Structure 1
Amino acid sequence: MASSPRGGPALWPVLALMLNALVWGISWWPFRVLQSHGVHPLWSTALIYLLSLLCLLALRPGALRAFASQPGLWLLVVASGLTNVGFNWAVTVGDVVRVVLLFYLMPAWTVLLAWPLLGEKPTAGALARLALALAGVFTVLQAGDGGWPLPREAADWLALLGGFSFSLTNIMLRRLQRAPAQARIAAMFGGGALMALAAGLAGMGAGIVAAPPAPSFAWTGVALVLGLAFLVGNVGLQYGAARLSAHTTALVMLSEVIFASASSVALGAADLAPRTWLGGALIVAAAAWSAWPERQAAVPAAAGAK
């Protein structure tokens, strides 16, 4: 069994990350339900994370004070917020499987960011797992004429933005792991609300985002349940990402591809071609490989911290 940087078994951190991946992997459906009631995913995101933040403050009133004492958490606010803006918007308006796979080019961003920010020089094994995962992604996204895929619509760019931001979020959770947990969670919830609200207002000004509708029972119940799911999932991400290497976190979270693909096919929102099955198998293999122990010494918890 793999070990976490703190020396303990990786089972619980891996399961916590997979719970978060499950929430994200099936979130496209409630977001589309909300959109059908006139609630843009940016407003849904802002509401969900505002509710989550209020729940946190009710349970941990000192969370904001703890956040204010850690100026470095502002980057986590931005990274976490843009993750949700990019992914939630893209998965609502784009092809679910394509969006999720573009989002999971994230391991490439992790290799680029973890070395300068955490001091985690990628090992040969990490690079090999990365290559296997990306081979799966490119297999799925390969165009029917044999050409390599390029972003063709807004959902593609939003998915790439979300993946880059999610990688940065995971890295900042490791970099700031000595900050109080309640402060980190407040930063993530506050970022989800703040960045979605800012993007929504900017979109309204540009005429591409409709104003939110009046509250109604038809959609507020869906929003509340989704908010609770994201609350639990983000706690799982907080727990898992702070205890595993950035590379392992990125690869374990690829299980979201399976959850998203299975749910979208089951609900008639996608049609998996043979190359998608092949690519998905490569991605799963890379994620499973990440559970094997590293042969290098664990990076100290404070690596990369200033």
Structure 2
Amino acid sequence: MSIARSRQRAALALLLNAFVWGCSWYPFRHLEEQGLHPLWATCLIYVLCLGLLLTWRPGAWRPLLSSPWLWLLMAASGLTSVSFNWAVTIGDVVRVVLLFYLMPAWSVLLAWLLLRERPTQAALLRLGLALAGVVIVLKSPQSDWPLPVGLPDWLALAGGFSFALTNVLLRRLRALPETSRMTAIFGGGASLAAVVALLGQSHGLAAPPCAPALGWLVVALLTGLAFLAASAGLQYGAAHLPAAAASLILLTEVMFASVSSVLLGAAELQERTLVGGGLILLAAAWAAWPERGTGTRDSGTGH
């Protein structure tokens, strides 16, 4: 296969990943309408993914016995999945996705703390640009301060932070097999979603799971297959494209989420959202661009 053909397939694989995650809000809202809370939906879908993965690679879980960092990856990726899936189900999809993509700003701070990577002047400027965008998105005429409003905002910010932590941990664990890292990610999503769902039930934030029905079970299965395909697409695309190109392609998730949610009435585009979102995306695109003298940059991991 020619290099050009390989790169085309890699780009399409990354677009698949971005499309699946950008439109993932729809099946979660459909499942909620059928009586399945997004936390229980996340648990079910990730259990399906984990089961299929371990059927394919039965020994993928073994590194968990010897790597405490994989357990931290489970927690971080689990919080990412719980926060994002819950937020896009109950909140304005565009606003949630934009706040979630504050991830590159968090990455600067976490890489400094965990990897001892001192931020460059450019990294600090990107951090300031992203924070300025968040201030604009959060500041509404009804509030004196640019603070999160409601549970979806807090979930989106928590998801972006934990997503950044997930990316930093994946860089630290890059020597481990991809299937072991995927096992930790899907296992963390399933287990943490179940724990939070049970706690949510006790505080009236989550309804108990509804009785099984063929209609929503099919949707959950198809969503799980889509997540597995998206994860495989990410792994293939990131391996066959420069990291900067991969990161920029993955930003199309925001476009897919925005277009689908506006067309289907799940989001409202306001002027401050467009302006602040533009700054956040500019900071993310800048973070993806290769710095002079390096030529590459880590590509990110998807959810």
TM-score class normalised by the smaller sequence: 0.7 to 0.9
**1:229-244 maps to which residues of 2 (within 5 A)?**
229-237=226-234
Where does structure 2 lack aligned partners over 5 or more consecutive residues?
Answer: 1-5, 299-303
Structure 1, 140-149 or 208-217: larger mean CA deviation: 140-149
- 1:22–1:256 CA contact under 8 A, matched in 2: yes
> What code does the residue aligned with 1:49 have?
Y
Q: Which of residues 113, 128, 131 in structure 2 aligns to 1:116?
A: 113
Matched with 1:227 is: 224
Q: Which of residues 27, 33, 38 in structure 2 aligns to 1:36?
A: 33
Cα distance change of structure 1 residues 133 and 240 upon mapping to structure 2, 3 Å threshold: farther
Post-superposition Cα deviations, 1:54-86, rounded to whole Å, max 9, x if no partner, equal 111111111122333433200001001111111
**Count of aligned residue pairs for this structure pair:** 293
How many percent identity over aligned positions?
A: 59
Cα distance change of structure 1 residues 124 and 11 upon mapping to structure 2, 3 Å threshold: farther
Offset of residue 113 of structure 1: 0.3
3-state SS of paired residue (1:62)? helix
> Aligned partners of 2:297 and 2:149: how far apart in 1?
41
**1:1-306 maps to which residues of 2 (within 5 A)?**
19-144=16-141, 147-237=144-234, 253-297=250-294
> What code does the residue aligned with 2:27 have?
P
3-state SS of paired residue (2:58)? coil
Cα distance change of structure 1 residues 183 and 290 upon mapping to structure 2, 3 Å threshold: same
Offset of residue 180 of structure 1: 1.6
Post-superposition Cα deviations, 1:214-256, rounded to whole Å, max 9, x if no partner, equal 1112211111111112222234455677999999988775443
- 1:185–1:235 CA contact under 8 A, matched in 2: no
Cα distance change of structure 1 residues 157 and 286 upon mapping to structure 2, 3 Å threshold: closer
Where does structure 1 lack aligned partners over 5 or more consecutive residues?
Answer: 1-8, 302-306
- 1:111–1:247 CA contact under 8 A, matched in 2: no
> Aligned partners of 1:148 and 1:234: how far apart in 2?
38
Offset of residue 154 of structure 1: 1.7
> What code does the residue aligned with 1:155 have?
P
Cα distance change of structure 1 residues 132 and 94 upon mapping to structure 2, 3 Å threshold: same
> Aligned partners of 1:225 and 1:245: how far apart in 2?
31
TM-score (norm 2): 0.83
Structure 1, 82-91 or 230-239: larger mean CA deviation: 230-239
> What code does the residue aligned with 2:147 have?
L
Cα distance change of structure 1 residues 43 and 181 upon mapping to structure 2, 3 Å threshold: same
> Aligned partners of 2:25 and 2:297: how far apart in 1?
37
> Aligned partners of 1:254 and 1:56: how far apart in 2?
26
Offset of residue 18 of structure 1: 5.2
Cα distance change of structure 1 residues 289 and 297 upon mapping to structure 2, 3 Å threshold: closer
- 1:252–1:288 CA contact under 8 A, matched in 2: no
> What code does the residue aligned with 2:47 have?
L
> Aligned partners of 2:295 and 2:258: how far apart in 1?
34
Offset of residue 197 of structure 1: 0.9
> Aligned partners of 1:239 and 1:119: how far apart in 2?
29
TM-score (norm 1): 0.82
> What code does the residue aligned with 1:119 have?
R
> Aligned partners of 1:283 and 1:78: how far apart in 2?
26
Cα distance change of structure 1 residues 282 and 158 upon mapping to structure 2, 3 Å threshold: closer
Post-superposition Cα deviations, 1:150-190, rounded to whole Å, max 9, x if no partner, equal 12212222222211111111111101111121111110011
